[in-house]
Amino acid sequence: MRPGLRYAPVFLPEDIDKPVPKNGHSRPKTVDMNGRESFLNIQTESSSTGEAAERKKRASQLKSSFNPKQRGAIEIKLADMFGANGLDVLVRLASIDDAIIERLCQAYAEGALSERDLAAARLAAEQV
């Protein structure tokens, strides 16, 4: 993308909102049991099906005391550990691969996060 150019979305007729029924929307029949919650409010890239499957496979291999539902709270603690620009470090790491954040959160939850891990993460974030 060249500087100064902007891209605008093109909406198709099927993108138009449909009217809501008088009784509201129905909820899903099944409830999410293990949804990931992240404090990071942006996703810089959408995952392809292959990447999502690979991430799920890695996550299943990492069985531990880490509860993905606590990820958002752990990310706040990690940001504090990184210092004044901690959230920026997390955003940069997520732009490389969200699995980095997942592994940092897991290490934190297991009490295995070292200063060496934090230094390596800072260095990786600086490279982006």
Distance, CA of 32 to CA of 34 (rounded, Å):
6
Residue type, 120: A
Q: Which residues contact 87 (CB under 8 A, 6 or more apart)?
A: 40, 79
Question: What does each C-alpha distance from 93 to 35, 44, 112 come to in angstroms?
Answer: 21, 11, 19
Name every residue whose Cβ is closer than 8 Å to that of residue 88 and which is 6 or more positions away in sequence: 125
Going from N- to C-terminal start, the domains of the chain cover: 46-128
Q: How far apart are CA 40 and CA 87, in angstroms?
A: 8
pLDDT at residue 62 greater than cutoff 60 = no
For residue 60 the two structure tokens come to 């299943």
Cα dihedral across residues 31, 36, 40, 46: positive or negative: negative
Share of the chain above pLDDT 70, in %: 67
pTM: 0.52
Query: For the residues 58-87, what does the mean pLDDT come to?
Result: 82
Identify the weakest region by mean pLDDT among 58-67, 103-112, 117-126. 58-67
SS3 99: helix
> How many whole angstroms separate alpha carbon 68 and alpha carbon 104?
12
